[in-house]
């Protein structure tokens, strides 16, 4: 793309200021900036016009969940179905690790964080160890896809190589990069990180299947005969991955997807819960819950919206292909964004100063015709690490790991 084309593209979206410092740049920087302008989707900024209405309306009603008591009763049946699917290569695991992990505040990708006390125990190591339980039980390696972003790809790949994939079969590990989205000020003007770089951030965890498609991994999925994809977050160090019980329960239910859930610890716990929205499976965020929904009861007198998602989903692959080109809602999130001040000097704001644009994996659930929420024991399977200390932190995860006999 040449300067004129770049200018025209920016003009279309009212972002000509991106070229403000162009004349000060050297040739390499100029080429870099033009390439970035070519690759950036500025149209995403138009979602600011609808800010506040992203969650959309719709009639919310309860969805039936498979509770732990039923899972326990049918554990053997589900294990057999799930293990059979894993053994026949029908299940792939997809780690969504493209996030910035800003709350944890480490320079390195979150998966490289060491939660060990007496010896190193990296977050990625915990995830691979969990996955290895299934590999050992099934006697085959589960294809393991890892999504990264521009911001953490090289370090993540180098770390896995350096650690010898923590014992995983490297030929069954497939990295792919997600897309980036521009970040803007409150008026929707794209921020510049440097004079030759637009401020961008990973575009959320919802575009993972589109990114797999773009990277040619759907062919790999077909070649391997994968029918189910288990997507999961990087930060829950206790979660079971490609868990035969979860896979078996979802397959046995005939649902297009399954969602691991935990029973809410308290009425106001800040967790998105499973529900039906206009009759379709959906997730309602804690900040969208009205007092009526929070207090609603089911026929047993239990809270009607009681099962919170833990970002561990199983999707039927052919349904993902059906929806891959449909666009998901774009969420506008207020964040701190490194940028240039009006004099062109770098600025690291202490407070949020603009917006990032993200698509979320939870919105994919609504595109599915059916979803089975499956309850898991939160003490055994839910130790997310978002912060260093306090709620959902390295500290709280360490306590939970120890409760589960994991030596740190």
Of the pair 195, 214, the CB lying nearest ligand UTP is at: 214
Of the pair 44, 97, the CB lying nearest ligand UTP is at: 97
Asked if 21 and 196 touch (Cβ cutoff 8 Å), the reply is yes
Per-residue 3-state assignment (H helix, E strand, C coil) for 345-379: CEECCCCCCEEEEECCCHHHHCCCCCEEEEECCHH
Which one of 69-77, 230-238, 316-324, 340-348 is the stretch in contact with ligand UTP (CB under 6 A)? Answer: 230-238
Helix residue spans in 88-233 (DSSP H): 123-138, 153-162, 208-214, 217-224
Of the pair 78, 122, the CB lying nearest ligand UTP is at: 122
182 binds ligand UTP (CB under 6 A): no
Of the pair 6, 363, the CB lying nearest ligand UTP is at: 363
71 binds ligand UTP (CB under 6 A): no
372 binds ligand UTP (CB under 6 A): no
User: Binding residues for ligand UTP, how many (CB under 6 A)?
Assistant: 19
177 φ, ψ (degrees, to nearest 5): -105, 140
93 binds ligand UTP (CB under 6 A): no
100 binds ligand UTP (CB under 6 A): yes
What region, left, alpha or beta, does residue 306 occupy, with left being phi > 0 and alpha being psi -120 to 50 degrees? alpha
Helix residue spans in 17-74 (DSSP H): 27-39, 68-73
Contacts (CB under 6 A) with ligand UTP, residues 185-214: 202-205
Which one of 1-9, 133-141, 231-239, 347-355 is the stretch in contact with ligand UTP (CB under 6 A)? Answer: 231-239
**Is the four-CA dihedral 96, 102, 103, 108 of positive or negative sign?**
positive
Q: How far is the CB of 146 from ligand UTP (least distance, A)?
A: 10
238 binds ligand UTP (CB under 6 A): no
Q: How far apart are CA 100 and CA 183, in angstroms?
A: 14
List residues binding ligand UTP (CB under 6 A).
96-103, 110, 147, 178, 202-205, 233-235, 386
């Amino acid at each position: 793309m040449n300067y004129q084309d770049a200018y025209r593209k920016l003009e279309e979206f009212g972002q000509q200021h991106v070229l403000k410092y162009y004349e000060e740049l050297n040739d390499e920087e100029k080429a870099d900036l033009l390439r970035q302008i070519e690759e950036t989707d500025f149209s995403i900024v138009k979602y600011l016009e609808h800010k506040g209405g992203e969650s959309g309306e719709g009639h919310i009603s309860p969805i039936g969940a498979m509770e732990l008591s039923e899972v326990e009763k049918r554990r053997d049946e589900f294990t057999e179905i799930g293990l059979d699917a894993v053994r026949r290569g029908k299940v792939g695991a997809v780690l969504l690790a493209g996030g910035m992990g800003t709350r944890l505040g480490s320079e390195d990708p979150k998966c490289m964080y060491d939660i060990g006390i007496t010896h190193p125990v990296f977050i990625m190591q915990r995830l691979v160890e969990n996955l290895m339980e299934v590999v050992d039980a099934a006697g085959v390696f589960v294809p393991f896809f890892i999504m990264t972003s521009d911001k953490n790809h090289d370090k993540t790949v180098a770390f896995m190589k350096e650690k010898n994939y923590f014992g995983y079969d490297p030929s069954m590990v497939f990295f792919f990069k997600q897309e980036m989205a521009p970040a803007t000020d409150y008026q929707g003007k794209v921020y510049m990180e440097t004079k030759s770089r637009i401020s961008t951030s990973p575009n959320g965890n919802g575009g993972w299947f589109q990114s797999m498609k773009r990277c040619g991994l759907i062919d790999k999925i077909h070649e391997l005969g994968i029918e189910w994809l288990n997507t999961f977050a990087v930060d829950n160090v206790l979660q079971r991955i490609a868990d035969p019980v979860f896979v078996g329960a979802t397959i046995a239910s005939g649902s297009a997807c399954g969602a691991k859930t935990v029973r809410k610890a308290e009425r106001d716990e800040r967790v998105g819960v499973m529900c039906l929205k206009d009759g379709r499976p959906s997730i309602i965020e804690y900040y969208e819950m009205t007092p009526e929904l929070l207090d609603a009861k089911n026929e047993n007198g239990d809270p009607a919206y009681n099962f919170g998602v833990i970002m561990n989903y199983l999707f039927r692959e052919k349904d993902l292909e059906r929806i891959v080109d449909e666009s998901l809602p774009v969420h506008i999130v207020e964040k701190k964004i490194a940028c240039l001040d009006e004099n062109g000097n770098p600025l690291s704001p202490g407070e949020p100063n603009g917006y990032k644009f993200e698509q979320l994996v939870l919105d994919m659930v609504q595109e599915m015709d059916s979803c089975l929420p499956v309850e898991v024991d939160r003490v055994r399977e839910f130790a997310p690490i978002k912060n260093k200390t306090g709620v959902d932190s390295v500290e709280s995860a360490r306590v939970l790991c120890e409760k589960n006999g994991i030596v740190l």
